[in-house]
Amino acid sequence: MNSSPKPDSSSLFGRMAESITKFSGSTAAFVSATALVVVWAITGPLFHYSETWQLVINTGTTIITFLMVFLIQRAQNKDSLVLHLKLNELLAATQGASNRLINAQDFSEEEIKTLHDFYCVLAELAKKDNDLGKTHTVEEAEDNHSEKLAAHAE
């Protein structure tokens, strides 16, 4: 028995938004939109390419685009949150991983820059050591690098 709740199962808007998002990314949606534009173009001579004829496609596409921006953003927010949760789970479950990175998406830009700089230093030291899997901290990498330099100097 699966005890995990279905996402957005209690929300009519959630179910509707998910269905529309899935459909809008499908081949059927693209073919439908293309067919609509072709029909609109074919009717041009019938309506003498009037301003109203042009306004129909402009208004329709503007409204659809406006609404799709919000649906796309909603889907991206959900996907991003799920991705962060999965990464947090991996960090929490991995021996030797830094728990300080759990919920890193909530860090300030300054904190993110500090962590980025830390990992850049770590990467540079790991490159010098030619062993990407051996070190876990800048201090360990610096010690390891110093030991190798000392060994080569002897």
**23-81 residue pLDDT tens:** 999 999 999 999 999 999 999 999 999 999 999 999 999 999 999 999 999 999 999 99
Buried b (16+ CB within 10 A) or exposed e, 73-85: ebbeebeeeeeee
Nearest-10 Cα torsion for 103, 83, 124, 142: 40
Per residue in 83-123, pLDDT tens?
999 988 888 888 877 788 888 888 999 999 998 998 888 78
Domain boundaries, the chain: 12-93, 107-153
The pTM assigned to this predicted structure is 0.60
